[in-house]
Amino acid sequence: MASRPLSFLLFLGCTITSSAQTRVITTDITHFWDAYDSITAATDTAEQRRLLHIHFIDKASIGQRGMFTARRYTPDEYLHAIRSYPRFYASVRPNMLRADEHAEAMQAGAERLRRLYPTMKPADIYFTVGVFRSGGTALDGNVLIGSEISLTDKNTVVVEFPEKLAHLGTFFATEPVRELAFTNVHELIHTQQAGRWGYDLLSQSLHEGIAEFIPTLAMERPSPAASVAYGLANADTVRAVFERELFAYWIDRWIWNADGPFPQRDLGYYVGYAMAKNYYERSTDKAAAIATLINLNCEDSVAVETFAEASGYLSRPISELRTSFEAGRPRAVRVAEFENGKAVVDSSLNTLTIHFDRPMHTAYRSTGNGDLGPDHAPEVTDIAFAADGRSITYTVTLNPGIHYQLKLEEGFRDERLVQLVPYVVEFKTR
């Protein structure tokens, strides 16, 4: 299909490229570099902040404001990056200033997706500038490209980056700028999906994996994601580990992760991709399968689990996997100071030490009230994990003649980030 005529509109010194239904807006890149040049020429920190606002933040497009919101970027983060990474910015600047050259390919990708999915809703594409937390996302029906990540290549300089950004060097070496059209279709899928996010590892993996699989059909090429390549090469092992964690509330070992069960990041993308691919290949009506994939609401637990079962990817029925997962969740097993639920203790007791059946992740905890409510909760003055993570001690102040309850909630996680079975500490004081 021939590409549609393009019109070019000058707006605030930058280019907005539009087709009949898809606009590509690059004005925020121009504003960022105006701010960058002004800031690096100034020495007063208050003046630098003012310049960031007047040249960039105050002129932000709808898409750039959306990126501020989606990734909670702050002015201090931009100023710190500008001051800290001059070699990075010098190396990425030429690519960023050529963002409008990618507009036609991105619009062509959108048209390819529309042919696969004729009910596709229009979506604008914004080239935004962030601070290294998103190469692309979708919000309020718009695609938001994180230019400082997605417009990089193997020549982008990363030697100034701290350890927490070390993974970006590996990513930049894959030449992300060459994959913009594919990335854009991935994000366009997110603008069409019924739910904004998943609610656990399984659902979020499907949310991202479907958006990674559909572009392979639209663009008629394999996914460029390293996670997909690794997953395909280690399919059985990845599935086995995933199935032990699929109902975990936290996705940090599988999606947007620094650490995980494998040396490759973002394997949740691969698992969702594999489920979507299985479902599509097993379907006789391919158009209906595409619609089912895109319309799957990953905030709906019944829809998610029904689809996961129908995909044919899982090694066992999902009901069996749920039973196995629940049996494998971490548990609190005893209170050191008394027999839980039966004790009458002296109000001079000042510690409650709860032991777990395995090491817990000491960075996470969540404590609440029991069914009797806040009037029956002890006053807690300190909480400390043991060094091995196998117990936690609450320092408390008690009063006589009270029926106390203290609830350890699901915010406690083991080292796999699987949530604790809730546990209520219950006792009375004399």
Residue 407 to residue 366: CA distance in whole angstroms: 9
What's the average model confidence in pLDDT over 388-417?
Answer: 97
The answer to whether residue 270 scores a pLDDT higher than 80 is yes
Q: Which fold has domain 332-429?
A: Immunoglobulin-like (2.60.40)
Residue 425 to residue 419: CA distance in whole angstroms: 18
HSE (side-chain half, CA atoms, 13 Å) at 158: 20
| Residues 161-215: tens digit of each pLDDT | 999 999 999 999 999 999 999 999 999 999 999 988 999 999 999 999 999 999 9
What's the average model confidence in pLDDT over 134-151?
Answer: 95
> What kind and span of H or E run contains 91?
helix 86-97
| Residues 206-262: tens digit of each pLDDT | 999 999 999 999 999 999 999 999 999 999 999 999 999 999 999 999 999 978 999
Q: Give the distance from CA 115 to its chain's centroid.
A: 29
Supply the CATH classification number for the domain 7-321.
Answer: 1.10.390
The answer to whether residue 354 scores a pLDDT higher than 90 is yes
Give the rounded percent of residues in the chain with a pLDDT score beyond 90. Answer: 93
Residue 40 to residue 79: CA distance in whole angstroms: 10
Strands (E), 109-204: 125-128, 136-139, 142-146
**Could you tell me the pLDDT band of residue 8, with boundaries at 50, 70 and 90?**
very low
Residue 421 to residue 419: CA distance in whole angstroms: 7
Residue 243 to residue 254: CA distance in whole angstroms: 12
The answer to whether residue 4 scores a pLDDT higher than 60 is no
Contact residues for 338 (Cβ-Cβ < 8 A; gap 6+): 345, 427
**Could you tell me the pLDDT band of residue 296, with boundaries at 50, 70 and 90?**
very high
Give the per-residue pLDDT at 12. 35
Q: Would you list the domain boundaries of the chain?
A: 7-321, 332-429
**Could you tell me the pLDDT band of residue 5, with boundaries at 50, 70 and 90?**
very low
CB 250 within 8 A of CB 198: no
Give the per-residue pLDDT at 22. 81
The answer to whether residue 328 scores a pLDDT higher than 90 is yes
Give counts: helices (H), strands (E), the chain. 16, 14
Give the per-residue pLDDT at 17. 56
| Residues 20-61: tens digit of each pLDDT | 468 999 999 999 999 999 999 999 999 999 999 999 999 999
Tokens describing residue 315: 């090694």
Residue 126 to residue 312: CA distance in whole angstroms: 37
Give the per-residue pLDDT at 6. 30
pTM of the full predicted structure? 0.88
Residue 287 to residue 290: CA distance in whole angstroms: 5
Residue 396 to residue 348: CA distance in whole angstroms: 10
Tokens describing residue 45: 């920190």
Give the rounded percent of residues in the chain with a pLDDT score beyond 70. Answer: 95
What's the average model confidence in pLDDT over 129-153?
Answer: 96
Give the per-residue pLDDT at 21. 67
Give the per-residue pLDDT at 258. 79
Report strand pairing: 332-335 vs 344-345.
unpaired
Question: What DSSP designation does 25 have?
Answer: E
* Rg from Cα positions in the chain: 26
Return mean pLDDT, the chain: 94
Give the per-residue pLDDT at 361. 97
Residue 179 to residue 430: CA distance in whole angstroms: 69
Contact residues for 28 (Cβ-Cβ < 8 A; gap 6+): 56, 59, 60, 61, 63, 64, 126, 127, 128, 129, 147
Q: Higher confidence at residue 193 or residue 2?
A: 193
